[in-house]
């Protein structure tokens, strides 16, 4: 399927593996240039290399924690103006939610709500 997004540029957060990587690969398959990130530089580099060789797209890798202000700044600087933003971060702790304490809930909200809001606010004006 041609989604009509070839040549666009996407920032895909937490994309060295799992759901984020799947999103990055789907976009790469459509000819989208990527900025990907993960906390483990070695895993991130391997992912970037595989995506480049498989799809022939430009892939910029940024090793950082997207949930931190420093990580967000690194990503936004490397990405510049983008057309597509895919927010993603690690989920809450595994197990029953009833076993979580307040700190677990705050960390999950920060990673999966406040981080995406900050990135959307930063990227939206140029999109």
> Can you state the percent helix, strand and coil of the chain, rounding each to 5?
50, 15, 35
CB 65 within 8 A of CB 42: no
* 91 alpha-carbon distance from chain centroid: 13
| 8 pLDDT more than 80 | yes
d(CA 122, CA 72): 10
pLDDT, position 65? 94
Non-local (6+) Cβ contacts of 45 within 8 A are 61
| 21 pLDDT more than 80 | yes
Give the chain's domains with CATH numbers.
Answer: 9-126 (3.40.50.720)
Q: How many residues does the chain have?
A: 127
As a whole number, mean pLDDT of residues 77-95 equals 90
């Amino acid at each position: 399927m041609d989604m009509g997004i070839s040549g666009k540029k996407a920032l895909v957060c937490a994309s060295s593996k799992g759901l984020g990587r799947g999103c990055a690969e789907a976009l790469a398959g459509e000819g989208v240039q990527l900025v990907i990130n993960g906390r483990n530089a070695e895993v991130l580099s391997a992912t970037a290399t595989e995506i480049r060789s498989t799809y022939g797209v430009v892939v910029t890798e940024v090793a950082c924690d997207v949930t931190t202000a420093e990580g967000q700044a690194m990503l936004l600087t490397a990405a510049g103006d983008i057309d597509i933003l895919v927010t993603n971060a690690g989920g809450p702790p595994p197990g029953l939610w009833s076993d979580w304490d307040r700190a677990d809930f705050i960390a999950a909200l920060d990673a999966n709500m406040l981080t995406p809001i900050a990135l959307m606010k930063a990227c939206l004006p140029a999109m």
